[in-house]
Each structure stands twice: as C-alpha cells, then as structure tokens.
Amino acid sequence: MTTGPKQTSRTRQAMVTIPGLLLLRSLRMSYRRPRLVLAIFALTIISLLPGLAQLKILLSVTDSTAADSELGINQARKRAAFAGDQELTTIFQRRDHGMLNEQDLCGIRAWVRKIDFANQDVQFINSPFTARYGAETPQTLTYPLAIKLNCEDPSTSVYPLSAVMSAPLIGTLVAANQKSLLAVIYLRNTPGGSKFGSFDPNVVAALETDLAQSFPATHTVSYNLAGGAAFKLEFLKSLMRDQWVNFLVLVIFCVGFRVLFGSWRGSLLLGASLVVANIMLFSAMGAAGVPIDMLTNSIFTIVALASIEDFVFLAQMTQENGNTADWRQPFRRLMLPSFYTSLSTVIGFLSLCLSDIVSIQRLGLWAAIGAALEFVIVFTVIPAVLTLLPRMRSWTKCESTAVARTVHGICRTRLPRLACVALIALVPLATVGIGKLEVRDSLTDVWDAQHTFNQAVATLKKDFGWSAAIDLVLPVGADLENAEKIIAKIGKINGIVRVESPSAYVAYAARNLSYERFMLMQRELMLADGTSYWYAKSHQLMRVSIFVEDSQLTSLAPLIHEVKDICAPSRCFVTGDLVAYADYAAKVIDTLTESFIFSLVLVALLLLSLARALRMTKPATMIFASMWGPVVLLGIGPWIFGGLNFISCVFAAVLVGLAGDSSIQYMFSSRLGAISQGISQRSTASVQMTILATLGSLAFLVSDFAQPRTLGLLSAAGFIALVVGDLWLLKTLTTWVQHLRSSDQATRFNASSVQSSSALSDPMISS
C-alpha cells in the first residue's frame, strides 16, 4: 500500500517537525539559561527529598494485595475475627538428631514460658506444652498437662513425648519420630503499622537473638525459624543486602564507559545522572505513598538498564566528532531520536499497568516515570552542566579506544545466509513456546536451597511431612458437624498431608470422660482463650490449618482450586501468604502476554509511523528485525532458564520497550530512505550499549535472592538478542530486499527490451 505525498507530509510534520522544534527549544533553554535550569532542577529535588523518609517497604505478599479484591476481603475478614496476626514457627531438635529427652524439653518449655509472659508482642503460643486432657473423679473435673516433665531433676534417658504418640499433636506440633517439636508463636501486628507494612520484623529479630542466647552452639538443642514472620525477617535482611546490586550496576556502567570511551569524566556524568534520577524517583514514590516491594526493589537497575542507551549514543557521536565540532551538536542531532527511543521504553513499562497484580502495576508506572526522567536529565540537565563547566565538555576521548575499534570491526561483519535463515525459523517455534509458558515458583524459591529459611522448611518436610500451611476459614454457627465434613473432604485432596480438626483434639482430650463431663469440658473450652486460634469470638467462624506437602505453585495452585470448589457451597475460604502468592502466579502469564502484545503493537506502530515520516523504504523488514529479539526470547528463554517466576515476568516489557531503539537511531541517521547508511553510522553505539547493558544485567547474579538471578540472565540474553535482530538480522534482510528489488528491476528492463526489439522487427503479414 502506497502513502500519498500529503499524508507523508502530515506524518512528517506530526512526528518530526513539531516535536523536533519543541525539543530544540527546551535544549536552547539549557544552553542560554543553565543556572535557571539547574536551580529549577535543584528545587525539585529538595521538594521531593522528604519523601525518602516516608518510603515504606512491604515484606508481605498479602500487604501487596488489593483491599477490594476477593483475596483482600477474605484476609480482612480473617484478621478481624481471629487472634494471631503473624505466625512464627519455631522448630526445636537435638543437634545430634536424636530423640528429645526430658532435659531438652525442660529447656525448651522454659524458653517458651519466658517469652509468653515477658514479651508484649506475643499474642499467644501454640505448643505441645499447653496440651491438656480431661481427668475426672466423682467430685472433680481437672485438666492435667499431656506432657509431664520433672524439670527440678530432668533426666536425659526419659522421653516424655512418647505419652502423646496417639494424640492429634503428632504431625502438627510433635514429629512422629520424637526428634522435633514446634512452638508456633503468634505475634501482634505493629500498632498503626510500620515502615515495613502492617508488621515490623525486627520483633522476630529480637526473638532470634533471645533464642541464640538461650540455645547457643554448645547446647544440645538447636532451632530453626519458619512461618510468615520468619519469611518477612529474612526477606528484609536480603533486601538490605541487595542494595549492593544497585551499587555494582553503577560501578559496571562507570568502569565500562571508561573502557569504551576512554574518559572518567563521562563516567562521572553517567553515574551522577543515574544516582540523581533514582533519588528523585524514590523520593517521589515515598511522597506518593508507593512502597518498595519484591519488584520495585529492582527498579534502580531496571531503569538504569533501560535508560543507558541515550547516553551511549551521545558518547559515540561525541567521540566520532572529536574536538573539532561543536560539543552541542550531538545533543541537537540525537534529542529527537532519543525522545522516541525513550517513548518506546515508556510504552513497554506502561504496558505492565494492564496487570491485575498491584505490585506489577506499580513497577510499570514508576519504571516508566524513571525512564522519562532519565531522558530529561540527559538532554536538559547535562547540557546545562556542560555549559557552566567547560572542562567537562571533553567527556569522551577524542580517538576511539582499542575496545571501540574492535566493536566497530565486529559491526562490519555479516551473518551467513544459513544462520539468518535459522534465526528466522526460530520465530514460529517461539510463537508456539509463548503459548506454553508456565510459572515455576514458590516462596522457598525466593532463596537458594541452602538459605536458613529453606533449611527450616526442609526440616518441616522431613520430620512432619509437610512444608507449609494455609488457613481455612469456615462459617460454622451451630453447625459444627458440617464443618467437620468439609474438613474431612478437603483432607482427601492429593497434596494435602492433614487438616486440623478441633473436634479431634476435643475427642482426644475427653477420651476418658463421661458424656456429661465431656459436654462440660467442651463448653469450658469454647469459653477459654485456648480455643481462640480455632474459633472466632462470635463463634460464627472457625479457622483450621491445611498442611500441604509442597509449596511449589505448579502443585499448590490446583490444590487451592479444589479447596475453593469444595468451599463454594458453604462459603468457606482460604487465606495466607501462600494463597496470595498462588493467586499472583495464576495472573503472571496473563500479565506477561497482555503487556507483551500491547507494547509490541504500539512499538511496531511507532516504528511504522517514523518510517513513513522519514520516507524509509520497506519498513516491514525493519519492524520484523526489531521484534525478532523479544519474540524469540520470550518463547524460548524461559524454557532455557527454568520457567518464569513472579520477578522474571517483567523482563518482556523491558525488552519490548528497548526493541526498535537502534532502528530509530538508524532511521534518523539515514538519507534518502536507505537505512544502510544509518546502520553504518550508529551500529557501533548499538553494540557498545549492548555490552554495558549485558554486563549490568549480570549484576543480578550476585543478588541475595534467587529469582532476580533468572531476571538477570533473561535480560542479558535479551539484550544480545535485541542487537542480533536490530543489527545483523536487519543488515542481512536489507541486503536481501535490495537484491530482490535489483532482480525485479533487471527483469522489468529485460522485458521492456524484448518488447522494444519486437516493435522494431518486420511486421507479420496477416492473411
């Protein structure tokens, strides 16, 4: 389909002329009034800085759940009805892995009682030491402890846990092999909240310190911490340690810039622009009440990787011009194409706002703001700084460095024909792969298997048979029998090890009582605080724990779905961090595909519009080459790197946002509609940017978390795939198209020559 001259002129005016004039005006402002520009910028930073102190960190998955969602409403109902806000599961066992004897149990019980009475953050503790049973005489009804200990003279050869081997405690609080027991501590949420959400995990840190003092390495008993409260503490520790990843990215970029362009001045400008942009970004997030969570923690690195491109193209042109040209020229020539490369990045990030997951929406919006802010700094603040500081204008080495010359030589190479065909053949395979993406994730996958939290979960699975628990809340009223039927039915689901049954505990405790005393004991239990974990104060809701064998979402998600199907007629529901995480996982694929398609279409339309405005020939070839990298990596990458997780699902938006950026630079550097000239001038910068971005992505490999490492590998592979498509595949396809056009023109010329010779030959005599 051809485009008319008038339509092309209008497109050029809308895409090139008007935006170019507006951008050049802002650039002139930086040259002519640099002090005013820097003063406005400084005042903006100062006004935003108080937001840093207001910045909160969310450690709980449930805190990131939308309050008006079904999961958020159910979580609020559970918190309003039951005591026990945060669960800390303390696992005790002997260091020699033997059976717990009386002396061990006395030490454990002493510590449990101490914190129960002395720690104001503890709501209640569920442990085998509080388990009782009913004993009656004709005149009395008493409730002696199920585990009897002689702690005045404890023995190392007596094993009191054998007395409860037939109790429902086995498998929930006491291991069947008598080698482990649990003390489940329920902690209060922080009154009024904290900078870490509804709960301050430093409470757990204090308990951990107390445990270390009570059970030192020389003690016969060791301990591990599991449960939601322990997860939050370990998450906070890793979050703080992970700030080194951001610092490492900064170091890689600055040192890499020095190696590529030969100047520490440019490294200083690059580092300062990234630091200032992110200070402004995080300050604005704090002022707007936007918290740091598992995703937004990586926003510095993500924005830095997405924004470095403009700086590298500027540096490459500045070095190419040397000291003979005006230092302003690269800014003038690259401001408009860089505006569109930043726009495509913003589009990629904003596509994440289509997600139903609040934390992914936050990441998309604020990463887009960060990318836009970085463009403003590079083309407004840096020119103002260079105007006032003439010594900084030589921010690249005049001559190309050895590395830059090597890169330039690499850019001149071409793909073999067979390799190009193979790359194109990957597209249909990747399309099939996109349709079969799956999430492989778990709360334990947040860290390596050797991590303290995962070691505690492994102990639970080894000694108790389960690795995690989720809460089941049932509306019971007076119909306890129906609740027990639901519990029994849910207990038969594959993957569920056991479900708590309050009736089973009561039946065990009253096994030696007459019917009258049994009814009396049941009434007293319902009125006692000891049943507050199971029964709401109104007695209209009952909460029990479902113990699951595996917390992997591939097995957990269908299990939760079955529970919901059973619960639907009775309006019971499940809650907890695992349920929230499974809910997120169910939406990850939808988030990925929706944002990918949305941004892919918008970026393709942007490239097509620019191609028309700049009168480029055969834009379809360029668009295909630009989209090749994201499509192939999304379809194949997750299978190579072990599936997707909650963190790595955002990588597609980053890649699509960067897709076509090199092509945009090539188009603006081309003349007469031939993109080959632009490739020749700007391909070196494309490869230099890829080198820096790939090395920066690998900084994720030192993350304390395991999931960002996958994101780092995917991003590194993605940047390489982008340059393969944007540069080498585009060069080969452009050559093929030119060859086809030449062949077509030659065919037409031969045909016209034949017709001309026929016209000059002797005419045929008709009969």
* Interval 722-756: pLDDT, tens: 899 888 998 888 888 777 666 655 565 555 554 54
Query: What's at 100, amino acid-wise?
Result: L
CATH code of the domain containing 474: 3.30.70
- Asked whether residue 567 falls in the same domain as residue 586, the answer is no
- Check residue 541 and give its pLDDT: 84
Q: Which of 127-131, 206-210, 480-484, 760-764 has the lowest mean pLDDT?
A: 760-764
- Asked whether residue 588 falls in the same domain as residue 729, the answer is yes
Tell me, yes or no, whether 190 lies in a domain.
Answer: yes
* Interval 206-218: pLDDT, tens: 999 999 999 999 9
Tell me, yes or no, whether 66 lies in a domain.
Answer: no
- Check residue 672 and give its pLDDT: 66
Q: Where are the beta strands (DSSP E) in 503-572?
A: 541-548
Residue 642 has pLDDT above 80, yes or no: no
DSSP track, 448-470: -TTSHHHHHHHHHHHHHS-SEEE
Q: What angle do CA 414, 416, 420 make, to 5 degrees?
A: 95
Orientation angle between helical segments 243-261 and 402-411, nearest 10 degrees? 90
Residue 245 has pLDDT above 60, yes or no: yes
Of 524, 545, 576, the domain-final residue: 576
Find the domain containing 170 and state its range.
82-238
- Asked whether residue 273 falls in the same domain as residue 409, the answer is yes
Evaluate whether 112 touches 91 at the Cβ level (below 8 Å).
no
- Check residue 225 and give its pLDDT: 94
Residue 522 has pLDDT above 90, yes or no: no
- Asked whether residue 540 falls in the same domain as residue 589, the answer is no
Tell me, yes or no, whether 767 lies in a domain.
Answer: no
* Interval 596-607: pLDDT, tens: 788 888 888 998
Q: Mean pLDDT for the chain? A: 84
- What is the average per-residue pLDDT within 490-501? 89
Give per-residue burial for 439-464: e unless 16+ CB within 10 Å, then b.
bebbbbbbbeeebebbebbbbbbebb
- What is the average per-residue pLDDT within 460-479? 85
Share of the chain above pLDDT 90, in %: 27
- Asked whether residue 234 falls in the same domain as residue 263, the answer is no
- Check residue 325 and give its pLDDT: 63
- Look at 611 and 673; give whichever has higher pLDDT: 611
Tell me, yes or no, whether 757 lies in a domain.
Answer: no
Instruction: List CB contacts of 706: < 8 A, sequence separation 6 or more.
Output: 445, 446, 447, 448
- Look at 763 and 279; give whichever has higher pLDDT: 279
538 — pLDDT class (breaks 50, 70, 90)? low
Q: Please name which of 358, 356, 352, 363 lies closest in space to residue 301, comparing C-alpha atoms.
A: 363
- Check residue 466 and give its pLDDT: 92
- Check residue 276 and give its pLDDT: 92
Residue 212, H or E segment = helix 202-214
Tell me, yes or no, whether 143 lies in a domain.
Answer: yes
- Check residue 270 and give its pLDDT: 92
Residue 687 has pLDDT above 80, yes or no: yes
- Asked whether residue 201 falls in the same domain as residue 267, the answer is no
Residue 141, H or E segment = strand 141-142
> How far apart are the C-alpha atoms of 285 and 368, rounded to whole Å?
13
User: How long, in residues, is the chain?
Assistant: 767
646 — pLDDT class (breaks 50, 70, 90)? low
pTM of the model: 0.84
Give per-residue burial for 554-564: e unless 16+ CB within 10 Å, then b.
eebbebbebbe
Report in angstroms the alpha-carbon separations of 50 from 368, 472, 583, 721.
22, 42, 35, 41
Residue 653 has pLDDT above 80, yes or no: no
- Asked whether residue 51 falls in the same domain as residue 12, the answer is yes
DSSP track, 18-64: HHHHHHHHHHHHHHH-HHHHHHHHHHHHHHHTHHHHH--B---TGGG
Share of the chain above pLDDT 70, in %: 90
Instruction: List CB contacts of 216: < 8 A, sequence separation 6 or more.
Output: none
Of 576, 595, 629, the domain-final residue: 576
Q: Which of 506-510, 552-556, 602-606 has the lowest mean pLDDT?
A: 552-556
DSSP 3-state assignment of 92? Answer: strand
- Check residue 760 and give its pLDDT: 44
- Asked whether residue 477 falls in the same domain as residue 589, the answer is no
- What is the average per-residue pLDDT within 660-682? 83
435 — pLDDT class (breaks 50, 70, 90)? confident
Task: Please provide the distance, in angstroms rounded to a whole number, between the alpha carbons at the two ends of the chain.
Answer: 46
Residue 764 has pLDDT above 50, yes or no: no
Residue 495 has pLDDT above 80, yes or no: yes
Of 212, 238, 264, the domain-final residue: 238
Tell me, yes or no, whether 67 lies in a domain.
Answer: no
Q: Which of 395-404, 406-415, 630-639 has the lowest mean pLDDT?
A: 630-639
- Check residue 602 and give its pLDDT: 87
- Asked whether residue 230 falls in the same domain as residue 243, the answer is no
763 — pLDDT class (breaks 50, 70, 90)? very low
Q: Which of 464-478, 625-639, 648-662 has the lowest mean pLDDT?
A: 648-662
- What is the average per-residue pLDDT within 141-153? 89
Tell me, yes or no, whether 556 lies in a domain.
Answer: yes
Tell me, yes or no, whether 68 lies in a domain.
Answer: no
* Interval 108-133: pLDDT, tens: 999 999 999 988 888 888 899 988 88
- What is the average per-residue pLDDT within 226-235? 90
- Check residue 34 and give its pLDDT: 94
* Interval 351-381: pLDDT, tens: 888 877 788 888 889 989 998 999 999 999 9
- Asked whether residue 22 falls in the same domain as residue 155, the answer is no
Residue 85 has pLDDT above 80, yes or no: no
- Asked whether residue 465 falls in the same domain as residue 566, the answer is yes
Structural domain count of the chain: 3
- What is the average per-residue pLDDT within 424-440? 80
- Asked whether residue 121 falls in the same domain as residue 111, the answer is yes
Residue 310 has pLDDT above 90, yes or no: no
